[in-house]
């Protein structure tokens, strides 16, 4: 354990240039006292490091010193090759760079670790996009990525919900979510999210900008995702569903019914004796709930809210009317009346519009 920590201290100092004992302790999750002891041990072993005193001080390696010791374990070697996504790297213009880096790492590994890393690549494949969807065309991704790397302002034309708009952005980070690239950027002092495939034109300017000091992409994206999802799931729905259709319900709703299932216990909600049970969960909107619940047909019954129940009744009546055999009586009025009360189509107002804020997801 100590040997691995000593290697980590060396690599941290090599990467960051200078770090305090407190920063090293926080990074390695040990006490400052332990770090001081490890630094003494490195110095005694001949590692050329020194301390700079003062408020801006810390520990540094002598300029030009670099260690070739990585202390790479078998699990770390495997994880390294598992983390490489060739397709996103290629979209960023880094495909050949990634291949060269993996080749160099493979060549530097001892034979036993090289074999384990090779077996991992033969047995695991990471595919970012979901089923039944083509990769998005991200023509300007390399330009956007250059702006992110070099902290240079971007001028883009963005396809918003009301047509193309010109934007001047300070690009802070790129996120690949379910096969879709998003740009997190600052505009007029506010953080915004843009879908890269909707950037119709992009130019990387000579003007540079200062990144906001406390900004952390992982923390920002996690908070933005939580806010986005919480904003969507705001309409409570109660249903009566067949116990043998609980899995289908969870699948149709994209997992949002799972909190209701978990609240009723890991074994699932109790049956009412007739093979049916009751569940409550939040949904994005009545329109999306209407479309999603129709997939389950007669295996689910909406109990609340009344508006959703009315919309489903109107849609089912209209479908029954449309599929009625020739010569049978019709009741088109019921379907029309239901539609007049607001039964939705696939493009109802509850569908999130794609613009230059979080709704672009």
- Same structural domain for residues 246 and 295? yes
pLDDT confidence of residue 2: 66
Q: What is the CATH number of the domain that holds 48?
A: 1.10.10.10
Average pLDDT value for residue range 104-115: 66
Q: pTM for the full model?
A: 0.56
- Find tokens 């920590």 and name the residue: 5
- Same structural domain for residues 294 and 224? no
All residues at 6 or more sequence positions from 34 whose CB lies less than 8 Å from its CB, including other chains: 25
For residue range 189-205, list pLDDT tens digits in order.
999 999 999 999 999 99
pLDDT confidence of residue 110: 66
Range of the domain at 92: 74-123
Phi-psi region of 199 (alpha: psi -120 to 50; beta: other; left: phi over 0): beta
Asked if residue 199 lies in contact with residue 242, where contact means CB atoms within 8 angstroms, the answer is no
For residue range 326-338, list pLDDT tens digits in order.
877 655 444 444 4
Which of 230, 262, 296 is at the close of a domain? 230
Q: What is the CATH number of the domain that holds 220?
A: 2.30.30.520
Residue 350 clears pLDDT 50, i.e. is over it: no
179 within a domain of the structure (yes/no): yes
For residue range 173-189, list pLDDT tens digits in order.
999 887 788 999 999 99
158 within a domain of the structure (yes/no): yes
| DSSP-assigned beta bridge partners for residue 195 | 182
- Same structural domain for residues 221 and 237? no
69 within a domain of the structure (yes/no): no
- Same structural domain for residues 118 and 181? no
- Same structural domain for residues 10 and 36? yes
Query: What's the sign of the alpha-carbon dihedral 340, 345, 350, 354?
Result: negative
- Same structural domain for residues 237 and 219? no
270 within a domain of the structure (yes/no): yes
Q: HSE-up of 114 (CA within 13 Å, CB side)?
A: 10
Which helix (H) or strand (E) covers residue 315, if one does? helix 306-322
Domain count for the chain:
4
pLDDT confidence of residue 64: 73
357 within a domain of the structure (yes/no): no
pLDDT confidence of residue 346: 38
Which helix (H) or strand (E) covers residue 283, if one does? strand 276-283
User: What is the average pLDDT score of the chain?
Assistant: 78
Average pLDDT value for residue range 148-165: 93
Asked if residue 28 lies in contact with residue 5, where contact means CB atoms within 8 angstroms, the answer is yes
């Amino acid at each position: 354990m100590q040997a691995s920590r000593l290697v980590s201290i060396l690599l941290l100092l090599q990467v960051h240039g200078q770090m305090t004992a407190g920063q090293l302790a926080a990074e390695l999750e040990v006490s400052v006292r332990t770090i001081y002891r490890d630094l003494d041990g490195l110095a005694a072993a001949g590692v050329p490091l020194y301390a700079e005193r003062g408020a801006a001080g810390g520990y540094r390696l002598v300029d030009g010193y670099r260690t070739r010791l990585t202390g790479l374990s078998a699990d770390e070697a495997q994880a390294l090759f598992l983390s490489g996504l060739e397709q996103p790297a290629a979209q960023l213009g880094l495909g050949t760079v990634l291949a060269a880096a993996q080749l160099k790492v493979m060549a530097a590994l001892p034979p036993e670790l090289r074999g384990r890393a090779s077996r991992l690549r033969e047995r695991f494949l990471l595919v970012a996009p979901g089923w039944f969807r083509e990769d998005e065309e991200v023509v300007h991704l390399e330009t956007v990525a250059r702006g992110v790397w070099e902290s240079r302002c971007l001028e883009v034309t963005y396809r918003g919900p009301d047509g193309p708009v010109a934007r001047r952005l300070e690009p802070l980070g790129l996120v690949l979510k379910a096969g879709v690239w998003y740009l997190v950027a600052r505009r007029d002092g506010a953080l915004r999210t843009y879908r890269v495939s909707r950037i119709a034109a992009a130019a990387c300017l000579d003007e540079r900008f200062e990144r906001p000091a406390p900004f952390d992409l992982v923390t920002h994206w996690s908070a933005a995702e939580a806010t986005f999802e919480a904003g969507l799931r705001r309409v409570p729905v109660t249903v009566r569903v067949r116990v043998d259709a609980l899995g289908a319900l969870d699948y149709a709703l994209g997992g949002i019914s799972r909190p209701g299932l978990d609240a009723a216990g890991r074994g699932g909600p109790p049956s009412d004796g007739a093979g049916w049970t009751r569940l409550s969960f939040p949904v994005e909107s009545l329109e999306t709930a209407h479309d999603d619940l129709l997939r389950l047909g007669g295996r689910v019954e909406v109990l609340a809210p009344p508006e959703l129940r009315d919309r489903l009744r109107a849609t089912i009546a209209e479908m029954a009317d449309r599929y009625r055999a020739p010569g049978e009586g019709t009741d088109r009025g019921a379907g029309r009346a239901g539609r007049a009360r607001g039964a939705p189509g696939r493009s109802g107002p509850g569908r999130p519009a794609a613009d230059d804020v979080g709704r672009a997801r």
